[in-house]
Structures are given as structure tokens and as C-alpha cells.
Amino acid sequence: MNSAQQRGKVIIAGAGPGDPDLITVKTVKALRQAQVILVDRLVSEEILANYAAPDAEIVYVGKQCRSHGTTPQATINELLVEYALLGKRVLRLKGGDVSIFSNVLDELQSLVAHEIEYEIIPGITAALGAAAYAGIPLTARQHSTAVRFLTYYTYSKLTEAYWHELAQTQDTLVFYMSSERLSEVVEKLTRHGISAEKQLAVVEQATTPLQHVQVSNLYDYEKNLGGKTFVSPSLVIIGKVVNLHEEFKWFTNNPTREYYFKPVSEQVGLVLQ
């Protein structure tokens, strides 16, 4: 079973930000051909129900901060290798895009180390889905010169000089996995003199029927949104482009505090011993 000819292949694909209709045609084809599907928490159940082969083995390997049942990355790596060495056609299905704030590098390194064939299929990342469904053009002319994807969900060694540069730039800032530390992000940006013309938008559960957008001026953040708990996943957009939301919003704002994606504790996982 160890010859390259007998080994399977791993497809690493992005499922999009939530709306099941945002999945790519190529990923749908991969779903229909996969014998084993290792799926993240942030993947719509409709995608599996509509496109997975009826006899495919579905393995839930979701992650969720501080939640029981979270699958360690090392276990995911082991599963990919184990199934591929059995000659299976494996689909590793991730929420959003595969290369934006994911652990794809760990998975690729494991596959290369075991000489397993693989393919990468991109998906619509959360920033693009959230911005589109919130009516916020990320690089609108006269509002933004560029866009930056950042994260601040764990201790980050960002220097004060870097925070100052972020506060002064005309780029749109998009923070992934940072809603729990958003007060800290706002404090750093306002301390470094970010323009009062810029606003902040928190997009909860973007592109799903439960999407909810909340907007505030950064200097009024504590009064408007301070102390609030945002439903996961939440994405934060900061910049002058957020001012366009009120004019161009088109998707229903749903204040329901329910989860569109099941917590990992409610999903059935598989862990190697």
C-alpha cells in the first residue's frame, strides 16, 4: 500500500463563506467524486447534502475556540495521510478560501512528506463574501487605496509603529477571527489617531440567512458596541468604505442570535488513537 501508484489523492478546496450557492463548480465536482470528505465547521450543511456522493465517508474535523470537540491540526494531518495511503480520493473541505488564515501549510507539508498527490481549489474568502453581502466595496474609489487582511485573535507581536501605520493608512482593514478582542483593536487604532471619518462594521455569519451587520464610528465603539458578544464567525471591516453600507446594503439584516453553523460539540468527529 505504500507505492505511489497505490496512493490516493487529496483535494484541498474552499467551500465559500456560508451561502451554499457561492461554492465553485470545480469544488462541486470534487465533492461528487470524493470517497472521504474531511470537513470544517464553517461549511454549510446544504453543500454536503446536495453534492456529496451518497456513499462518501464524511469526517467532521471542525475547530472552534475554547470548545469541546475541537479537532487538533495534527489529527487532521494524520487523517489526510491515512486515508490517502489507503488509496482513497480525499476531499479536505474548508470554509471560505483555503489559503486565507487557514492551516493549509501544515496539511501541505504532511502530504509532501508522504509523497501524496494533491490539488488546491480556491474558494470565496469571508472578506469578499461579507463585503459583498453588506454592500461595502472594499476598494471603492476615493474611499480606499487597497485592502489588508489581518487577524488579532491571539497575542500578536504587532509593534506600536505598525499600529500607527494601520491607523494612518487609507487602506481598508479587514480583521478575521478578532471579534473577541475588538475593543483592544479599536483602542490601539484610536490611540494612534485613526480618522474619525472611518467606521467599523462587524458582519456576523456573513452571507447566511442569519447575517447581521452592526456599524459604529470607532470613537463611539464602546458606547455603541462595547461589551457585546458577536456570533461566530464574525468579520470586522474598518475604513471609509464602511460609510457606503447604509446606501448600498441589500441583504436582509437578521438580528436572530442563533448559529447557522453547528458548534463542533454537535458534530460527529473522528480522532485517531
Residues 40, 88, 94, 97: which is the catalytic one? 40
Can you say how many angstroms the Cα of residue 161 is from the centroid of all Cα atoms in its chain?
28
Q: SS3 of 239, please?
A: strand
Per the annotation, the verdict on 188 as an active-site residue is no
Per the annotation, the verdict on 19 as an active-site residue is no
State the CB neighbour count (10 A cutoff) for residue 208.
22
Q: Where are the beta strands (DSSP E) in the chain?
A: 9-14, 36-39, 57-60, 89-94, 117-121, 147-151, 172-176, 199-204, 212-217, 234-239
* Nearest of 80, 131, 128, 79 to residue 100 by alpha carbon: 128
Q: Which residue intervals of 96-201 are DSSP H helices?
A: 104-113, 126-134, 160-168, 182-191
What distance in Å separates the CA atoms of residue 160 and residue 170, rounded to the nearest whole number? 18
Dihedral (CA of 136, 137, 138, 140) sign: negative
Reported as type and span, the H/E element at residue 224 is: helix 221-224
Q: 456573513: which residue's cell?
A: 206
Residue 115, sorted as left (phi over 0), alpha (psi -120 to 50) or beta, turns out to be left
Residues 9, 63, 240, 249: which is the catalytic one? 63
Dihedral (CA of 127, 130, 133, 139) sign: negative
Catalytic residue IDs: 40, 63
